[in-house]
Structure 1
Amino acid sequence: MHSICWNSLVERIFPSRKDSEHLFGLTWRPMLQFLFLVGRDLDRLSKMTTQGELKERIADFVHGADGLGNTYPTLSDRKPIDTFAPDYLIQKVNEFPGEITIVALGPLTNLAAAVECDPTFAKKVGQIIILGGAFQVNGNVNPAAEANIYGDPEAADIIFTCGADILVVGINITHQVYWTGKDLEDLGRSDSKFGKYLYAASHFYATYHREAYDIDAIYLHDPATMVAAVDPSLMTYATGAVRVQKDGICKGLTLFNNSNKVWHDPTDWCGIPPVKVAVTVDRERVASLLKERLTAP
């Protein structure tokens, strides 16, 4: 099994310990820091840079200026490979056809470019698991849109309609999976160097949640999505076509058609390959699994 992920927490939630499992990392800077913290080597990790035109929305008010809660950790002196991100994705999918699982925890710019550059990409990738969208709930950028989809709605629509095996975990799910202030304190008291660091890095994120949502807790968006890769049975899914609003007041809206209705007139959802959208989650089991994995010594 081969996994490509944009988030370094995967190495703790989904440790690749078998010779047949390989992890390729895309968010190289925090990935290197987290692997350094947990004492893991890079023999199963390829680093890369993202180049080209990106539609960036920097949420430093959520994650801090450094993306790590303003902890500004000392970074490894290792450098990423000098490869254009979509080319790297295409290379790995062609090297391991049907075996690659991509876990996308940010805007889908690089994936969409890979799909457009290689017409066989969607059929060769094993599965794409996406953190994104707000299904039958309000968004977190505005009432219509979730942040990752809002960051590049054109790319998201390309991916949702490309025909790959796609599983989507939206904030309708991740807003049900959280750690309370007590859970965070448990991280700080754990024997895990990684857990202690997460506790320190979570202060800024927890402050945002108190101010934005009036809760003493943090939503576990990225880790909860990783659980869909580790144990998909902890969620249930509905199947149908997803389209993304690309502009206007509802820019970034993910509209899911899982109706059995036969439409009288053709719609933009007709003939679109279906995707799986998570609709329920076993909150307690997911939160407990994450706490167990992320506080392990």
Structure 2
Amino acid sequence: MTRRGLIIDCDPGVDDAVGLLLAFGSPELDLLAITTVAGNVSLERTTRNARILRQIAGREDVPVFAGVDRPLRRPRAEAAEFHGAEGLGGLETFEPDAPAEPGGAVEAIVERVIARPPGAVAVAVMGPMTNLALALRAEPRLAERLGPVVVMGGARSEGGNITPSAEFNIWADPEAAAEVFAAGCRVTALGLDATHQVRGTGARIAAIEAQPGNCAQTTASLLRFSQDVERRIVGWEWAPLHDPCTVAWLLRPDLFRAVPCRIAVETESDLTRGHTAVEFRVEASAACHHWVVEANAAGVFDLIAQRLGTLP
């Protein structure tokens, strides 16, 4: 089996946690690093949370690197109301046994991508794109060597979840997102148009909970926390599952439909800060961006349940 090299850049975060556990249970992924960024909660918490999840999954072989603690130009924003004060919903947090690695996330991304052939290392971005933007600044060759970048971020037909037109990950650091989309990387974006189709119904959560092992039980608990929050704050019956769709796309792209496009991000207007302008009128053969418009929710949740059943 050929394993895909993967760096996961994240801000755990309830849904990031599910995405990490999905990746930990997927043997076709060669997890080269987890890099963390401030986003859903502070950098200190996101880095600790990544290490907690690594320990729960028994994957201390995967190095964790702390990234940057604020956006490129903006004050830091958080989403603790959706993820809990510590970022992991109702999960009891603790200080993990294994520390984060020395050195930073930006350097870790550059070193791992440059050390391998072009197209050999994918990056899944589950939070603000600050680390990746700084890595591209430090080493512009990354743009032609990354293969591919898959991001959870943006909104088009669904509208935003932080403003009428902006999704949180893009809104939190729009300058970073704008730089990444403009860098020439191959980027597949799973915005709210796709992730709002992937809902954690009661039956889907129960199917995960029926799997053996603590990781499956942890995931079910995290999904129920999200369900409760969405009902209380947004009024939806079932919560959408955002960040794990990046890993699911890498594992099973057949579960999604993506359209060639060109994506730009609004950075100058306070009213539309973080808006993703998705232009489908492009030459498909030359497009380096793809926007996911359809997602097979049942397939995504079946994949998660199956992979979690292989973890402790």
Aligned to 2:66: 49
Report the number of matched residues: 284
Inter-CA distance 280–88: structure 2 relative to 1 (3 Å threshold): same
- TM-score, normalised via structure 2 length: 0.83
Out of 106, 110, 121, the position equivalent to 2:127 is 106
Post-superposition offset of 1:105: 0.3
Q: Is the 8 A contact 2:33 2:65 kept in 1?
A: no
CA distance in 1, matches of 2:220, 2:94: 17
Out of 176, 188, 192, the position equivalent to 1:171 is 192
CA distance in 2, matches of 1:239, 1:67: 34
Answering whether residue 50 of structure 2 is matched by residue 31 of structure 1, we say yes
CA distance in 2, matches of 1:145, 1:198: 27
Aligned to 1:268: none
- TM-score, normalised via structure 1 length: 0.87
Inter-CA distance 207–75: structure 2 relative to 1 (3 Å threshold): same
Out of 148, 159, 178, the position equivalent to 1:138 is 159
Q: Is the 8 A contact 1:163 1:273 kept in 2?
A: no
Answering whether residue 39 of structure 2 is matched by residue 17 of structure 1, we say no
Answering whether residue 82 of structure 2 is matched by residue 62 of structure 1, we say yes
Aligned to 1:274: 288
Answering whether residue 120 of structure 2 is matched by residue 97 of structure 1, we say no
CA distance in 2, matches of 1:232, 1:159: 22
Q: Is the 8 A contact 1:97 1:126 kept in 2?
A: no
CA distance in 2, matches of 1:185, 1:52: 36
CA distance in 1, matches of 2:300, 2:26: 19
Q: Is the 8 A contact 1:108 1:152 kept in 2?
A: yes
DSSP-derived class of the 2:91 partner:
coil
DSSP-derived class of the 2:102 partner:
coil
Specify the structure having the higher radius of gyration (Cα): 1
Post-superposition offset of 1:132: 0.3
CA distance in 2, matches of 1:260, 1:93: 29
DSSP-derived class of the 1:42 partner:
coil
Deviation per CA, 1:35-66, whole angstroms, max 9, x where unpaired? 3223x2322x1111113643432111000011
Aligned to 1:147: 168
- Which ranges in structure 2 are unaligned for 5 or more consecutive residues? 11-15, 37-46
Out of 252, 257, 271, the position equivalent to 1:249 is 271
Post-superposition offset of 1:216: 2.7
Inter-CA distance 295–75: structure 2 relative to 1 (3 Å threshold): farther
**Which portions of structure 1, spanning 4 or more consecutive aligned residues, are displaced by more than 6 angstroms?**
none
Tell me the percent identity: 24
Deviation per CA, 1:107-126, whole angstroms, max 9, x where unpaired? 00111111112121111212
Inter-CA distance 17–281: structure 2 relative to 1 (3 Å threshold): closer
Answering whether residue 5 of structure 2 is matched by residue 2 of structure 1, we say yes
DSSP-derived class of the 1:205 partner:
helix
Out of 128, 132, 135, the position equivalent to 2:149 is 128
Inter-CA distance 16–61: structure 2 relative to 1 (3 Å threshold): same
Root mean square deviation of aligned Cα? 2.3
Aligned to 2:44: none
Post-superposition offset of 1:155: 0.7
Inter-CA distance 163–197: structure 2 relative to 1 (3 Å threshold): same
Inter-CA distance 159–74: structure 2 relative to 1 (3 Å threshold): same
Aligned to 1:212: 233
Deviation per CA, 1:237-274, whole angstroms, max 9, x where unpaired? 1112111111320111001111159xxxxxxxxxx963
CA distance in 1, matches of 2:172, 2:224: 25
Post-superposition offset of 1:231: 1.0
Aligned to 2:96: 76
Deviation per CA, 1:210-242, whole angstroms, max 9, x where unpaired? 023323322111112211111111111111211
Answering whether residue 287 of structure 2 is matched by residue 284 of structure 1, we say no
Inter-CA distance 227–16: structure 2 relative to 1 (3 Å threshold): closer
Q: Is the 8 A contact 1:161 1:273 kept in 2?
A: no
CA distance in 1, matches of 2:152, 2:107: 22
CA distance in 2, matches of 1:10, 1:205: 14
